[in-house]
Structure 1
């Protein structure tokens, strides 16, 4: 067995020099990628249109029934959520149905996740609503069945322009392989942001529950001002609207609790949102809640599809900043849920393809008056728990929405808005559970807890868009902070094992005699190099600076001795050469007789 050599960088370069043909190899790889051939074209096509790869091999016998049941369940839930979240986005309810149809069809073709349910989402809808209501605060346009595309309200135009840019940003980021950007949105940041957004959503729905009118705000501290205004208008509460909303909230919470409790005994959960909408619409129509008690209702819902129309380009400059923020947030929610289900069911999702699919869904949807979509956890859990196995479930849910758009939309025109507000609030229950993150993070990672709290507070006080920017900036600062204050430790071996642990935390860990194993919790680079060196010196147990000084002194002494010997040898050589250059003296010989 030969001993291993310890080499410096210079010696290693002499022993194993780096390759010098990187340029030609790079050109070869580029030519290979740009070369057009049948297999390459097929691989490219299957990568960007995943449905072409999985649909020909779809196991109809094993998956079809589950996908149909799952699609029907999700479609039934998608209907009330689409109507409700459209009000969050500040547009008429029918556009929530459009946003639950066109983008979902596109995602089913281009997406790689088999279990998420794309479509309207409360957090994204309220972000869109903050933009539409700030740019068009007094839009009162109501659509009728005979309207042409030019009669679409200004808020719808703003939402479509915003969605166009959101989709464009996501497509471009997906094509340039920028899917890793979501790694900078840590889980504590996302959960803190969504918790704060849930409070924004809840407050925005109080006006519908109480039956009062509230001024729309989108600047800093808007949530605080809205709460104050709502409290000041409590004496103006419409009793019929309040009772309707509270009864709906109680019934939906109760039935959802039963759905969870008896989940193993029922194949398909009770569609309580749809049942609530049907019953409330029937009561509202029979009693005439709108005229008799002044309860706000949904109003006219046009039947049929709208022709595509180009978004208004003059609005792009006004919404471009919000579009980028919404694009990142929507993707962060989508990819986090997609990865969760992929790990659970043992398949792989492509980060960049998901970004491209979501972008294309929003981009195409913007031409059909859709507002920005995301991925709702509640629908995704229903899609998975009811037997969904593939994107076919999404297509089935779209067919349910299509029937509503073409035939049944008018049946919900007398639906009280308080019912839609109740649907929104009830579906935020899962997000509100994220407050339990606070004690958990306190026990495990207090820096992550600080990120959660800063994100929550900044989003509450500064609104959704500015709050997100502040949260991301603070999260990046914590990354720098962690690299500047890493955890350094000396490792010892646990007896009779190959496990090494920090000797300061584990009494069973013992250092190996004559060896120091030093560990740093972060990568070494220029910003923490001095900290790293100081920690190594401190934990080595030796006066390293003194040893280094002694070594430098010995090196200098050795160098002086070497220079002295070199001078002496040079002098001797010089004298020798001088002696060799002189002529030899003549010698006389005497011979004695």
Structure 2
């Protein structure tokens, strides 16, 4: 049996010392979350807010919920076995690590998590991202054996795959705990639905391509760096002639049977029972049995899982010296795993009418990964398929996880070696079939294209970057394009002129509603967005363009025209009455008031206020009043602080609504509306 270098007692002391140095323990027990900021805060409230299991387990309905949770826990444990082993191989660590991930960190999430239905453990995308880091930073000697990834190798002087994986997990944990302390849960907002869909679709394609070699039984090296999909497909094309027939048959049978179950049997069974057929576990058990009795590895050259240690591993601290090398991987995995986990938690919370604490979820993930890193686990994440099954089968609380862990510990202690002869082609088949849902997200591109060309562009760039270049670059490209899109939208605000619906106090976009009428002598300009140093010129240019008047240009034109009229220069001929009338109208147009609808202005900064002063002063020289209406409190407060109203009154006035401003202009300038009264 493989044993980790450090004894358990020494490790615990080292971990406690490290946490004390990071002030984690002091923060954990002394800082009260925002709901408890009152004089009645007690130690019990602080601890229960940090350790949610104390609160919900004390109110657990043992009679009503226990049996449902037990049944759901058994079902989830059955799913953990094939998925855990399969996804662990994606992370380039031994298959048994997937079972470790379903045990150690899940127990911690049971204590600190706030979602009742998230099934934590392996997740394909997170495992693939970790596998990239493992391949880059592990000693190449560990991957010279193409059949198995050894648990240890005494002749190596570099880092083992499990050491790299645990260090990445620890780095992820540090980022998540730091985000919790700084209350940065909103950072997941940068991962929009569009970006996540494109990212996971691209990652699913990468995962699928990475499984081709096991599906075909090919012995090709693992590639690292960028353009891995191209390199893998090129190597497969060069070696396709040496495909293993036995592995190919196993893959075809496994994929066919599992697909038939998912597409045909599962819907039929669902009508009669909430318990799905554990087809993945059946495939794994049958694959191991057939491989053992037929000796597929020796007789047919089929690659198998190999050594699976029996019993629980001894804890070992991560390789702290490796942290600087994997810090970027840790940050990206921390954000992705949190975003996926929070999304799943919010879906179930909304569906079943309960609340979750997004910031507490960061703490739960961070602490789970700290414990997991001591047992060489990959970073955990919520699984869509397992979480759905957990809820559909009847799971009520995280007691499901406790039941699942109880079953998995039996696997770890006694049954693990049974899966040693399991063909890797079976696990590859399980992965490919499980990824069908994510692969079909490619249809989202059509939906996004119909709804928003910008969203479709974000999806396409993210997905293609992940597939063509790599996961980290793809995520970075997606975030960058999303931020650029947000900035672009800020530089293209929605602006319009409003008109009055006759005999009402409603004012709507003149270009969209035929019934709306523009009020003589009044221009009502609506602007949507913030007014700041970057958008102030856009506001001014849009205003001048829509009302067809630029005060500066108009004043210059008037001055020049007045001089010509006074000197009699370049005037039209006396009989050209039309031209003379047009010149007079240029000087004496009938605009009396410009109303600025600020109901959709979210904020304004001092630069925006400075621009407003310029605009109002320009209109003042033309004897045109400016009314601002519908502004929110922060916008009004900024106008007050900058003394905009005080300085420019009465040329600038503020009203509660557009209708109030129109009423005032009607009274002051004798403007008739609808041919009568307002």
Please tell me the TM-score bracket, short chain as reference: 0.7 to 0.9
Q: In 2, are the aligned partners of 1:451 and 1:474 still within 8 Å (CA)?
A: yes
**C-alpha deviation, 1:186, in angstroms:** 1.2
- The answer to whether the aligner puts 1:139 opposite 2:142 as a matched pair is yes
2-structure distance, mates of 1:215, 1:230: 10
Structure-1 residue corresponding to 2:225: 219
State the 1:246 CA deviation: 1.3
What is the match of residue 432 of structure 1?
A: 439
Where do 5+ consecutive residues of structure 2 fail to align? 1-30, 555-590, 592-616, 625-678
Kept in 2, the 8 Å contact 1:218–1:463? The answer is: no
Corresponding position of 1:208: 214
Match of 2:370 among 360, 363, 369: 363
Deviation of 1:60 (Å): 2.2
Measured at CA, do residues 532 and 145 of structure 1 come closer, stay the same or move farther in structure 2, by a change above 3 Å? closer
Q: Work out the CA distance in 2 between the residues paired with 1:381 and 1:44.
A: 32
Measure the CA separation in 1 of the matches of 2:300 and 2:223.
Answer: 28
Alignment: residue pair count: 525
**Paired position in structure 2 for 1:125:** 127
CA contact (8 A) 1:67 1:389 kept: yes
**Partner in structure 2 of residue 155 of structure 1:** 161
CA apart distance, 1:487? 2.1
Q: Is residue 191 of structure 1 aligned with residue 197 of structure 2?
A: yes
Question: Following the alignment from structure 2 to structure 1, what is the Cα–Cα distance between the partners of residues 151 and 203?
Answer: 34
- The answer to whether residue 169 in structure 2 is matched with residue 182 in structure 1 is no
Matched, 1:407 2:414: yes
**How far apart are residue 502 of structure 1 and its match?**
3.9
Is 1:320 the counterpart of 2:293 in the alignment?
no
Are 1:470 and 2:477 counterparts?
Answer: yes
Range with bigger deviation, 254-263 or 264-273: 254-263
Q: CA deviation at 1:523?
A: 2.5
**Conserved 8 A contact 1:71-1:396:** yes
In the aligned structure 1, how far is the partner of 2:504 from the partner of 2:305? 69
Equivalent position to 2:495, from 488, 492, 504? 488
Q: What is the rounded CA distance, in whole Å, between the counterparts of 1:496 and 1:302 in structure 2?
A: 82
Q: 1:485 to 1:146 in 2, by over 3 A?
A: closer
Residues 191-238 of structure 1: per-residue CA shift (max 9 Å, x gap): 111110001111111111111122222222121111111121110100
- 1:6 corresponding residue in structure 2: none
Deviation at 1:321, TM superposition (A): 1.4
2:621 matched residue in structure 1: 552
What is aligned with 2:404?
A: 397
Match of 1:536 in 2: 543
* Residue 231 (structure 1) aligned with residue 237 (structure 2): yes
How much does 1:315 deviate? 1.6
Q: Compute the displacement of 1:451 (Å).
A: 0.8
Distance, in Å, in 2 between the alignment partners of 1:408 and 1:450 is 49
- How large is the Cα RMSD of the aligned pairs? 3.0
CA gap 1:496/1:35 in 2 versus in 1, 3 angstroms? closer
1:72-113 deviation per Cα after TM superposition (whole angstroms, max 9, x unaligned): 111110110111111111111111110111111111111111
Task: Give the structure, 1 or 2, with the largest relative contact order (CA under 8 Å, sep 6 or more).
Answer: 1
Which of residues 289, 296, 300 in structure 1 aligns to 2:303? 296
CA contact (8 A) 1:143 1:151 kept: no
> 1:267 aligned to 2:292?
no
Distance in 1 between the 2:152 and 2:135 partners?
Answer: 25
| Distance across 1 between alignment mates of 2:177 and 2:538 | 42
Larger Rg computed on CA atoms? 1
56-65 or 404-413: which moved more?
Answer: 56-65
Residue 352 of structure 1 deviates from its aligned partner by 1.1
The aligned residue for residue 25 of structure 1 is none
Q: Which residue of 1 aligns with 2:608?
A: none
**Match in the other structure for 1:98:** 100
Matches of 2:169 and 2:104 in 1, distance apart? Answer: 13
Residue 42 of structure 1 deviates from its aligned partner by 2.5
- Check the 8 A contact 1:143/1:301 in 2, yes or no: no
Moved more, 278-287 or 240-249: 278-287
